[in-house]
Amino acid sequence: MKFSNIDLGNNVEIDPSTSFNNIRIGDNVKIAKRCSVYGSAAHILEIRNDSYVGMNTIIDGYAEKVIIGTNVSIAPNVHIMSASGPNASKALQRVFPITSGPVTIGDHSWIGAGAVIMPGVTLGKYCIVAVNSFVNKSFPDFTIIGGAPAKVIREMTEAEKAKILSE
C-alpha cells in the first residue's frame, strides 16, 4: 500500500493493493482491490461517509478538487478524472489542450461499472449512471443517465422520490 497526506475516518476498509494519497476519507468507507485514488496537496480528494469504491477504479483528483458524497456506490472499473488531454504530446496540446475541472458526485448516487466521469462534472444527489456511460456534462438530482455521451434516460418519478426519502 502506498500512501501520503491522508485523513481516515472510523471503520475504513482499504484493500492493500490500492494506492492512495492526498485524500480525506469519511467513516465506514470501503475501497476494493487494485484502485488508484489520489488528489494533490492543493486538491485533497474527499470520499464522504458510508461510500463504496469498486475494484479497479481510478479516481484522479490531482488537477482539481474531487468530492465523492455520502452513501455513494461506485461499481468496478470506473474512471473519475479531474483533467483530461494528450499529456505526452505538446504538439497535440496546441490543438487539443488539457482540460480540467472539479468533479462532484452527489450523495446517494450510484455509478455503474465501466463508467467514465470527465472533468467539470457535477452529479446531483440520488443520480444513477448506467454501465459504460461517458459522462461529460452535469446532471441534476434524481436523474438516471446513460450512454456515450451520457444523456437523461429519465427522471425518477415522484413515487420513487417519496420512497427513497421515506426514512
Q: Is the peptide bond before 149 cis (omega within 30 degrees of 0)?
A: yes
38: its cell numbers:
489520489
CA 100 to CA 85: how far, in whole Å?
9
* pLDDT tens-place string over residues 138-167: 999 999 999 999 999 999 999 999 999 997
Could you report the per-residue pLDDT of 26-57, keeping only the tens digit for each? 999 999 999 999 999 999 999 999 999 999 99
pLDDT at res. 3: 55
Which architecture, in CATH terms, is 6-164?
3 Solenoid (2.160)
Domain coordinates in residue numbering, the chain: 6-164
Comparing 3 with 67, the larger pLDDT belongs to 67
Whole-prediction pTM value?
Answer: 0.94
Residue 77 Cα to chain centre, angstroms: 11
